[in-house]
């Protein structure tokens, strides 16, 4: 994300509360806060290498389970 610079200068006869209110409004209008909040819980994409490793692990696990079923060490429960 690129840097966004928001600058607010104090006007004559302006109190700090109004200055803070103007600054907050400019920040909200810029969309910086909403953009950060929208990306807050998004997950990174997994790399192709890690996807391949997970797939290989999954296939190996299925193979092991099928072998144990054939040996009778795991009882095959049918889904109803």
pLDDT, tens digit (0-9, with 9 covering 90-100), for 7-53 = 999 999 999 999 999 999 999 999 988 888 888 888 888 999 999 99
CB 4 within 8 A of CB 30: yes
What's the distance, CA 36 to chain centroid?
A: 11
Q: Tell me the pTM.
A: 0.48
CB 66 within 8 A of CB 58: no
d(CA 26, CA 70): 68
**Backbone dihedral angles phi then psi of residue 48, each to the nearest 5 degrees:** -65, -35
pLDDT tens digits along 60-78: 999 999 999 999 998 877 7
Burial of residue 76 (CB within 10 Å: 0-12, 13-18, 19+) is exposed
Domain ranges of the chain: 7-42, 43-80
């Amino acid at each position: 994300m690129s840097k966004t610079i928001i600058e607010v200068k104090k006007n004559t006869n302006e109190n700090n509360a109004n200055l803070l209110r103007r600054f907050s409004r400019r920040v909200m209008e810029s969309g910086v806060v909403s953009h950060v909040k929208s990306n807050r819980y998004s997950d990174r994409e997994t790399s192709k290498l890690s996807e391949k490793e997970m797939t290989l692990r999954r296939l190996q696990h299925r193979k092991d389970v099928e072998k144990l079923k054939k040996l009778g060490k795991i009882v095959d429960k049918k889904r109803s």
